[in-house]
Amino acid sequence: MQSESLRLFVNLNRLRLWFAVVCIIMLLAGLFFAFVGLAVLPVNGQVLSPWQNAVYGATFMGWGATLFFVGRLAFRRRDSELMKALLYGLFVWFPVESLFSAYFRVWFNVGVDVAVLAVLSLPLIIAIRFLDETKA
């Protein structure tokens, strides 16, 4: 009975749209802050740097957890489309992070970015090729 009432309430297309709109807002906010910085926010200058560190750390944790759980699911399901989505996300992240690191001459981070891209994209690319070849 309860699942029937839930079925009447839930519209998956609306939920997908809702999720997509929030994600696009997050992407645009990330783009804005990448170019403008967080200093435009009403934050005391004394706490801005430690707060930015905390925000960056939390974002990195969330990104790592998302890659872990979604990647694990993609490999378990042998889902090359989901793997491609993860790969696209990596290719959105990499140029922005590495180019800003290079612009600010933080060369060690460019190296870290290249290493992270390599160790995360390589298993995805190999698995995608394998799975797409076995489908044909």
User: Percentage of the chain surpassing pLDDT 90?
Assistant: 75
- Looking at the structure, do residues 95 and 130 belong to the same domain, yes or no? yes
How far apart are alpha carbons 114 and 118 in whole angstroms?
6
- Looking at the structure, do residues 27 and 48 belong to the same domain, yes or no? no
User: Tens digit of pLDDT for each residue in 73-106?
Assistant: 999 999 999 999 999 999 999 999 999 999 999 9
- Looking at the structure, do residues 116 and 68 belong to the same domain, yes or no? yes
Number of domains making up the chain: 2
Tokens representing residue 86 in the block: 């993860």
Domain housing 90: 42-135
- Looking at the structure, do residues 65 and 88 belong to the same domain, yes or no? yes
Q: Please, are residues 120 and 90 in contact by the beta-carbon 8 Å criterion?
A: yes
| Model pTM score | 0.85
Whether the per-residue pLDDT at 5 is higher than 90: the answer is no
Whether the per-residue pLDDT at 1 is higher than 80: the answer is no
User: Tens digit of pLDDT for each residue in 8-29?
Assistant: 778 888 989 999 999 999 999 9
